[in-house]
Structure 1
Amino acid sequence: MAIDIHKNDQSKQSAFNYDDFNFGTQPTDHLFLSEYDHGNWRSHRIVPTQHFSLSPFALCLHYGQTVFEGMKAFRQDNGKVHIFRPEKHHQRFNRSLERMCMPPIEKELFINALEELVRLEQHWIPQDKEVSLYIRPFVFATEPRLGVKVADNYTFCITCTPMGLYYPKPVRVKVETEYVRAAEGGVGYVKCGGNYGAAFYPTQQAKEQGFDQIIWTDAKTHQFLEEAGTMNMMVMLKDTLITPRLSTSILDGVTRNSIIQIARDKGMNVEERAISYQELEDAFNAGNRVELFGVGTAAVISPVYSIQIQGKDYSPYIEDGAIMFQLKTALENIRKGRAKDTHSWNHFI
């Protein structure tokens, strides 16, 4: 799967201010492109970052055939650069594409495109700052047709941007019991644009009330925690790490999977099961130590300092000795090369 590379003559990296930037506003110098036509992905190329040209009839603009992934590349203490768990991301990407009736991406193409692009853009990852390279693969339907149908033509693109801390401080959340993000049997486990667009309204209402995020509950009973808008949720209760079990309404987070594995490697009790907000309330009211945190590619591990349940605020434990910080450090040590990568998660370029 040959990839044609057309290099940008002038990089914008030297003018980038790593000490003061907003995530997702500055693309790096290059992007990967490929088109799907007549049953095949073709014209694989890396080109200078540029705008797209689309027909106003392009099906992605009307019927929601858009799927994406989010992953990161890191620079280790020794200067080497790796992409974190690209194979796991590829598996999830293809599950999303299948659910949205979109053509899968072969593993060889996916991995080769990532390697070549990150190899070109690795100078955007500084050695002396806590900045990674966020990588966004996505596919969208391009066939020009005003008719409800599965498209015949698509574009596959990978773009990158520098990333620091998504949530620079602990977050305040509320449990959402009115609106629904996803229902069983739907596309809640898929990283498609519609999931995020549908979540904007209740999330924006919560932000206007002073919350950073909402925790969605199940669509059937509104009793059981599912996930937040940008991350899976985890609870440390007594000596047990608890996270909602995966379903068709919960995203199979790669960071979620990594933290579960790290916790098990440490001999911790881990439960993937339903957890109700009532169970959380009971634990708070009993005076138990409760750690609540989100996990995700962008969020990494984000502690919750305040959670509102049915109008009442509770304060989870966020002191330095919290288990979540130990798990975060263990993950960072693997990514930075300070600890052995026993599961071969780091894919070096």
Structure 2
Amino acid sequence: MLLQSVETGVVGAPMAGGPTTPELVAAVGEAGGLGILAGGYLSAPQLAAAIADVWDASSRPFGVNLFVPAQANAYAVGPGELDGTERAQAVAAYRDLLADDARSLGAEPGEPRPGDDDDWERKLDLVVRERVPLVSFTFGLPSTAVIGELRRAGIETVATVTDVEEARAALDAGVDALCVQGAEAGGHRGTLDPLKQPCDLDLVDLVVAVRAETQAPVVAAGGIATHERAAEVRAAGANAVQVGTALLLTPEAGTGLAYRRALTDPAHQRTAVTRAYSGRLARGLETDFVRRHDGHAPAAYPEVHHVTVPLRRASAAADRSDLLALWAGTGWRAARAVPAATVVAEFAG
């Protein structure tokens, strides 16, 4: 299997929204790791162009990560805290609350766009047509029919899970491997149920618990900031480690200038887990925006994401980090402005 044959045992995280570029994926692959393109938020044509760019830049195998939309999630999701009219009202109230923030940037909050499927079906067709070597999934579990279609096309599948129960469900659905995401991870928590309280086990303990359930390949993700931590996670049973925050300052990453400066700014003292930017729990640098709005954001993804996108884009365009979603894991201070190949070598097994 591909994940067991990655010579360095290092996977480049699929960081959606710009940081994971085709250049970064290719650089991780050329250094002996496995790069994974972030398909989330891209249209199918945009993802097709990114895949072509990776093929052009490298002969190494790579993967594509897809967000599983709510309507395609085969995981047994519990009852929602908000449904129908109540959910729409909560999102509308949050949108109104952000009006002053938007005006400070000369922008307007976006429209909620409930039911957005992130171009799911066309992206599935694309990865099959392009024979992408590996496809990973986040935010949900695809159906056994989808997993079977990918397997028949010779594509390996990986599910992002955050606890043992989710790992069992993913294995029962037929995925080939697991990305086990710990509480320390930057960016969105990959819970299969968006309203579920994520597991808070230390990553090492979580890997041990999942490894007791299966011999399938396991990629460990979350706050891995040193070679020693990577070795500890491997000793617990992980076949590979996935790094994301450690790659944010590399020249190959698409991390914006304001985002890069924020990662090295001593004024940022901690990370926080918040729904303020997308309606889903995610870890990033704690900002005034998070402190002001975290308690008001409803658990409504992707609606909240679409509402805040214009604010984040305007903040980036103004070279201000005020309203940016500064996704980062707990080990963000160890990130360095070095080539991606240097990062892969640092975490190699």
TM-score, normalization by structure 1: 0.23
From the two aligned structures, give the one with the greater strand fraction.
1
TM-score, normalization by structure 2: 0.23
Relative contact order higher in (CA < 8 Å, ≥ 6 apart)? 2
